[in-house]
């Protein structure tokens, strides 16, 4: 059961960080400041941050015109949900 809580905690933390990165990048885009590289946003979204990335894209309307951001976040959500189900089954 500890693995379930560790995995959920890691996903929540990385999603929060990803959400903040998207918010910071949107702020920078609007104000002409230093931007966060797209590779960083995509990697954070794919590796356990898809929930935060998807929420930030919807809330801030940021990176929604780039098909690869939509694809990476969708694929990230799919594998993260599958991993969560697998960890839940193993924790039983």
The CA distance from 9 to 31, in Å, is 33
CA 26 to chain centre: 15
Looking at residue 59, its pLDDT comes to: 97
Average pLDDT (29-48) is 96
What the block records as the tokens of 80 is 């993260």
Looking at residue 78, its pLDDT comes to: 96
Is residue 71 very low, low, confident or very high in pLDDT (cuts 50, 70, 90)? very high
Looking at residue 10, its pLDDT comes to: 94
Domain map of the chain by residue range? Answer: 10-91
The CA distance from 25 to 75, in Å, is 22
Nearest alpha-carbon partner for 87 in 16, 14, 15, 8:
8
Q: Is the pLDDT of residue 35 over 90?
A: yes
Q: Is the pTM of this model over 0.85?
A: yes
The CA distance from 72 to 53, in Å, is 10
The mean pLDDT value of the chain amounts to 94
């Amino acid at each position: 059961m500890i693995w379930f809580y560790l995995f959920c905690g890691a996903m929540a933390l990385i999603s929060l960080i990803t959400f903040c990165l998207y918010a910071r990048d949107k702020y920078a885009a609007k104000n002409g400041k230093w931007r966060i590289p797209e590779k960083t946003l995509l990697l954070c979204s794919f590796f356990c941050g898809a929930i935060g990335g998807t929420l930030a894209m919807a809330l801030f309307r940021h990176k929604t015109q780039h098909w690869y951001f939509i694809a990476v976040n969708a694929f990230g959500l799919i594998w993260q949900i599958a991993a969560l189900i697998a960890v839940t089954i193993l924790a039983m």
